[in-house]
Amino acid sequence: MRRQSVAATALWIVGSALKTAAANPIQSAVAATLCRRTPKTKLMTERIFNFSAGPAVLPIPVLEEARAHLLALPGVGMSVIEISHRSKTFDEIIQGAETGLRDLLSIPKNYAVLFLQGGASLQFTMVPMNFLSLDENADYILTGSWGKKAIKEAQKCGEVNLGADMSDGGFTRVPTQEELQLGDDARYVHITSNETIEGVQWKSEPDTGDVPLFSDSSSDILSRPIPIEKYGLIYAGAQKNMGPSGVTLVIIREDLLPHIPKGKPTMLDYRTHVEHKSLYNTPNTWGIYIINLVCKWLKEKGGLEAMQQENEAKAKLIYDAIDATDFYRGHADPDSRSIMNVTFHLPSEDLEKKFASEATAAGMDGLKGHRSVGGIRASIYNAFPREGCEALVEFMKEFEKKNG
């Protein structure tokens, strides 16, 4: 009986998708994608193209496995959110997540991998709290809105020098090596590898000499291979490319740990979490479980080189559409364009509003730019399908025809 009603729902979804397809070429692209995917997955879930900047789209096989095992992990008889974080089962899960990340990112042995809470925003505080004192300074390279927030917190702990300030022109690019003004006595140099709001991304690491490089990599971690050995510390909220919100990855070079002054609050001292392997207190067990599944999915997809190729190809589709006309205007300079967050403007704010709301109606959600900068932002993280980029390009062409 139940099976029948699910099948009927599935048929209804296909039917309405096809009906709408006949009336609207953009929805046709969405409907075609819906139909192309495995019937078992797509037809019963009615997923749309989710361009959200985060929390963001996760891989369908990951969601399916999580759903299948939500009531009971195989052989355990309990859900992952019901078992002890000290159990053997969870130990395997957290070790699986760590090993998965170590393999994918080629993290050397002398780096610790931590799963913390408090989001990347807590790292804005924790980083300077551990590595900067009132009589010391750190270099922050400012390339966008998230970097600004990181700086505000660091200024409460010590002196912040701007290694470069790219706010002129509204953060459209990262600085060249020649433009950097880095101090020899800086405790660390901080960058935001991908500015999620402005869509500005570093294509390679700045040379910081002997000064450790720290990065907020929240919105491009796992989107491409990175040379971890060039970094002292990397932090990233999980909710774009790794899993759900509520778990934050920190990768930290262990020789930095002895430099942390004693007496820091226990939970805000990196050493606590290194010593207890992220299990000092109850971690986000669900989040770590999903990260483990995402790592397995990434390996099956061919790892980070394959992911980078796919991400570049997806981003190119949209950037090419922007460059093909004067109607759309890309925000970032071509050399600094993000392959994760594609940002652009239309001739007026009214048109941008119309674009975002008509796109939502056509099955493409989350395209409205961040409230602080406006415009349109297409976030196309690892799990975002290429078909969604193609559908957006079609939509852009149609929208220009009607409104240009």
Ligand X SMILES: Cc1ncc(COP(=O)(O)O)c(C=O)c1O
Sign of CA dihedral 150, 156, 158, 159: positive
CA-CA distance, 68 to 40, in Å (whole number)?
Answer: 13
When asked if residue 223 is in the footprint of ligand X (CB under 6 A), the reply is no
When asked if residue 94 is in the footprint of ligand X (CB under 6 A), the reply is no
The residue with tokens 């009971």 is: 72
| Residues of this chain, 25-84, that bind ligand X according to CB under 6 A | 54
CA-CA distance, 338 to 218, in Å (whole number)?
Answer: 13
**CA 92 distance to own-chain centroid:** 25
Rule CB under 6 A: choose which of 20, 41, 121, 308 binds ligand X. Answer: 121
Applying CB under 6 A, the span of 31-39, 157-165, 216-224, 256-264 interacting with ligand X comes to 216-224
When asked if residue 120 is in the footprint of ligand X (CB under 6 A), the reply is yes
Active site residue 152: no
Instruction: Take residue 189 and report the two structure tokens written for it.
Output: 């140099």
When asked if residue 237 is in the footprint of ligand X (CB under 6 A), the reply is yes
Of the chain, the end-to-end C-alpha distance in Å amounts to 52
Rule CB under 6 A: choose which of 218, 284, 379, 382 binds ligand X. Answer: 218
- Taking the least distance from each CB to ligand X, the nearer of 237 and 363 is 237
Q: Tell the smallest beta-carbon distance from residue 331 to ligand X (Å).
A: 16
| Residues of this chain, 128-157, that bind ligand X according to CB under 6 A | 146
CA-CA distance, 69 to 289, in Å (whole number)?
Answer: 11
Active site residue 146: yes
3-state secondary structure of 308: helix
When asked if residue 192 is in the footprint of ligand X (CB under 6 A), the reply is yes
Q: Which residue is nearest to ligand X (CB)?
A: 119
Strand pairing partners for 335?
none
- Taking the least distance from each CB to ligand X, the nearer of 121 and 155 is 121
3-state secondary structure of 256: helix
The active-site residue out of 42, 148, 202, 240 is 240
CB 292 within 8 A of CB 283: no
Q: Tell the smallest beta-carbon distance from residue 68 to ligand X (Å).
A: 28
Instruction: Take residue 336 and report the two structure tokens written for it.
Output: 């600094």
Residues of this chain that interact with ligand X (CB under 6 A) are 54, 119-121, 146, 192, 196, 216, 218-219, 237
Residues annotated as catalytic (active site), given as ranges: 146, 216, 240
